[in-house]
Amino acid sequence: MERNSFTLARMRYGNDEPLPEKTVLHAGPLSAVFEAGMLRDIRFGGIEVVRGLYSAVRDSNWGTIVPVFTEMSISRQPEVFEVAFTAVHQRGDIDFAWKGQIKGTSGGLLEFTMDGAAGRRFYKNRIGFCILHPMELAGTPTEVKTPDGWITGHFPQVISPHQPFPPMTGIRYAVQGRVKAELAFTGELFEMEDQRNWTDASFKTYCTPLAYPYPAEVRQGERFCQKITLQASALTNSERLERSATTGQIRLIVDEGRRQALPSIGMLLPKHDLKPKEMELVRRLNPGHMRAELDLTTDLEWSVSLQEALDTAQGLQLQLELDLIADGHGERLAELTSYLALNKRAELISRMFLYEKDTHVSSEALLQLLRQLMVTAGIAVAVGGGSRAYFAQFNRAILPLSHMDWAAYSINPQVHAFDLTSLVETLAAQAATVSSAAVLTGGLPLSVGPVTLKKRFNPDAAGTTDGLSEEERSDPRQQSLFCAAWTLGSLNNLSVSEIVQAITYYETFGDRGVAADAACMFPVFHILADIGDFRGGELMAASSSAPQTIEALGLHKDGRTSLLIANLTAETQAVTVEFAEAKGRNVRKLDEDTFEEAMYESETYRNAVHESFCEAVIRLALKPYAVVRIDPAEQPSRS
């Protein structure tokens, strides 16, 4: 990567494509944001009633076909808004176009219709509307209209592994005890899933129940017509609801007395042998562990791969987490345990997780076999289970808890949506997976990871391949400020419980890593290096008044403290930071002004001071996707 080759857009979010235009729509107390054919943040009187409403086209591998929009028109009046557009979905065999019409009125009525047809014959898993209900509705009573009539229930508190309600044609619920939302669906039968299973921050009501066969054939010229109607209203006539106002400056309160253990933060070992300069760079990150994957079903030279991983861990003087993939019969597990019994460096392995190749989850038979072989070989290593795929598979599996010392699942935020706003929304859902995992496992220690921006493989792919090219596994945002800010938010939310004792982020080098090579560090490198400065320490409480906008992470070790603050938006944010006492504090900024220095002159950047304060309350302006680090001007020396 050449210096001075980064545009402002590439620094912020990884590419030069303009961000989708957002149009705020108002009709009296009803408001929404229209973006790329989707309605977001639908509110009545400033209270969110629906998080998202859009129409999707999903192929036979559950891939989402992103549309191109044409013939766009938007009309806004004080009491009504209207939007009309045409969306065209084309990729591979998929060819589908539809006209969308949206109308909202001051009486709280919102209508969204779609009318489309296939341009050729193809196979689909879904075509039609999806409604995203905010995940904050968890535990809220609701009424669901089925073909047989209305039934009552609750939005699930613990993440539901399967559909919480039968197929439906409507739903109604109250939000915060202040606003009633009633939705009706026509043109198709709908059902709901708990999208927190994939770290989406919503309960999704979608067309075509999954009990229907899929992929389904779509004939050339076949039409799809659907309509979603939302009626929002105040629960009492006397209550006056007004448009939401801007919240102004965001408050961040630091409580140095509230602390918990910092999880071990690790990375994936690279596939190649690390060069000396690369080894030195990893040491500068000071990770708590490294993680390696060993596929016993396809890697005929698995012992060579394992030895390389052990040698690298030894060179770095780090513990190794090992993901093992085996067939249903556990072939080669006996060879593996015999190899480890004779290998002195096997003591570097802190824990092993075992997954079945076809299901991506741990089975009782495999874990029991591995434990028996370990006893015979005299190996004493913690054994874990769970899923190497999404939390959904973890949640749906019958986990062999009696054979598990640890639990694990991986995370990526782009199973269903790919835009920046949706990725930020997944952060709160990551915390929900931890809370549900604690219930599912009875509080077993949890290792989350790998956490990556994109899928490492597609567990839902049809056929024998995982359905992903190398390009589809990489995201240009990896090298951006956005990735750094998102990673800080991820760590903050995954640390909601002390059962999370290890988290693995990203690969080490390359397009999916924390650095291009030993001479070029991505912004996320500095987030992990900052956390590495406090390896073995504690997290310090720091609460944000707007966590979807500003995330903060406090760190403490041996009397030293640090505060990391991330702006998760594309706008500059004003933040007031409140400490318990006044003292000298230094601020280092990771933003578009320091981007290239941080990338190419990392040591100079890491020692920089960009602002200084002496007050207990300080005010900062964080540029888009910026991260700042605040340290006391005088810190105790490191032990």
Whether the Cβ atoms of residue 183 and residue 172 lie closer than 8 Å to each other: yes
- Identify the helix (H) or strand (E) that includes residue 556: strand 550-557
Q: Which CATH number covers residue 32?
A: 2.70.98.10
Average pLDDT over residues 289-300: 93
The answer on pLDDT for 238 being more than 50 is: no
Does residue 170 sit in the same domain as residue 77?
yes
In a domain, 23, yes or no: yes
The confidence score (pLDDT) of residue 551 equals: 97
Span 79-115, pLDDT tens digits: 999 999 999 999 999 999 999 999 999 999 999 999 9
- Identify the helix (H) or strand (E) that includes residue 265: strand 264-268
Helix ranges (H only) for 191-301 are 276-285
Does residue 79 sit in the same domain as residue 135?
yes
In a domain, 374, yes or no: yes
The answer on pLDDT for 611 being more than 50 is: yes
Strands 141-146 and 289-295, sheet pairing: unpaired
SS3 letters for 497-527? CCCEEEEEECCCECCCCCEEECCEECHHHHH
Alpha carbons 456 and 450: distance in angstroms, whole number: 9
Cα torsion 607, 609, 612, 618 to 10°: value is -90
Average pLDDT over residues 322-344: 95
Domain that holds residue 221: 10-234
Whether the Cβ atoms of residue 589 and residue 578 lie closer than 8 Å to each other: no
In a domain, 256, yes or no: no
Does residue 22 sit in the same domain as residue 128?
yes
In a domain, 457, yes or no: yes
How high does pLDDT run on average in the chain? Answer: 94
The confidence score (pLDDT) of residue 359 equals: 95
In a domain, 368, yes or no: yes
In a domain, 80, yes or no: yes
Average pLDDT over residues 136-156: 97
The confidence score (pLDDT) of residue 162 equals: 95
Which tokens go with 122?
């193809």
The answer on pLDDT for 239 being more than 90 is: no
Average pLDDT over residues 187-209: 96
- Identify the helix (H) or strand (E) that includes residue 421: helix 420-441
Domain boundary among 187, 218, 234: 234
Contacts of 101 (CB under 8 A, 6+ apart): 82, 83, 84, 111, 112, 113
The confidence score (pLDDT) of residue 237 equals: 52
The confidence score (pLDDT) of residue 423 equals: 97
Strands 617-622 and 573-578, sheet pairing: antiparallel
Distances from the Cα of 285 to the Cαs of 61, 162, 337, 420, 500, in angstroms? Answer: 37, 40, 31, 27, 20
Alpha carbons 504 and 526: distance in angstroms, whole number: 16
In a domain, 89, yes or no: yes
Alpha carbons 507 and 474: distance in angstroms, whole number: 11
The answer on pLDDT for 31 being more than 50 is: yes
The answer on pLDDT for 365 being more than 90 is: yes
Does residue 276 sit in the same domain as residue 185?
no
The confidence score (pLDDT) of residue 271 equals: 78
The confidence score (pLDDT) of residue 592 equals: 97
Does residue 180 sit in the same domain as residue 133?
yes
The answer on pLDDT for 249 being more than 90 is: no
Give the confidence band of 245 by pLDDT, cuts at 50, 70, 90.
very low
Alpha carbons 229 and 107: distance in angstroms, whole number: 13
Strands 149-154 and 264-268, sheet pairing: unpaired
The confidence score (pLDDT) of residue 246 equals: 43
The answer on pLDDT for 386 being more than 90 is: yes
Alpha carbons 395 and 400: distance in angstroms, whole number: 12
The answer on pLDDT for 452 being more than 90 is: yes
Contacts of 35 (CB under 8 A, 6+ apart): 20, 21, 22, 23, 419, 421
Span 533-577, pLDDT tens digits: 999 999 999 999 999 999 999 999 999 999 999 999 999 999 999
Average pLDDT over residues 11-31: 94
Does residue 498 sit in the same domain as residue 430?
yes
Strands 349-356 and 319-326, sheet pairing: parallel
Q: Which CATH number covers residue 607?
A: 2.60.40.1180
CA angle 365–366–367, rounded 5-degree value: 95
Whether the Cβ atoms of residue 66 and residue 418 lie closer than 8 Å to each other: yes
Span 507-518, pLDDT tens digits: 999 999 999 999
Which tokens go with 150?
């209305």
Beta bridge partners of 213: none
Q: Number of structural domains, the chain?
A: 3
Neighbouring CB atoms inside 10 A of 348's CB total 22
The answer on pLDDT for 1 being more than 90 is: no
The answer on pLDDT for 465 being more than 60 is: no
Does residue 275 sit in the same domain as residue 222?
no
391 versus 242: the higher-pLDDT residue is 391
Does residue 276 sit in the same domain as residue 209?
no
Nearest one of 137, 201, 200 to 171, comparing CA atoms: 137
Does residue 449 sit in the same domain as residue 583?
no
Cα torsion 395, 401, 406, 411 to 10°: value is -10
The confidence score (pLDDT) of residue 273 equals: 85
Q: Which CATH number covers residue 383?
A: 3.20.20.80
Average pLDDT over residues 285-314: 94
Give the confidence band of 579 by pLDDT, cuts at 50, 70, 90.
very high
Whether the Cβ atoms of residue 428 and residue 135 lie closer than 8 Å to each other: yes
Q: Is the peptide bond before 450 cis (omega within 30 degrees of 0)?
A: yes
In a domain, 421, yes or no: yes
Does residue 214 sit in the same domain as residue 283?
no
Average pLDDT over residues 568-596: 96
Share above pLDDT 70 across residues of the chain, in percent, rounded to a whole number: 96
Span 37-70, pLDDT tens digits: 999 999 999 999 999 999 999 999 888 999 999 8
Does residue 223 sit in the same domain as residue 278?
no
125 phi and psi, to 5 degrees? -100, -25
Alpha carbons 243 and 480: distance in angstroms, whole number: 35
Does residue 499 sit in the same domain as residue 549?
no
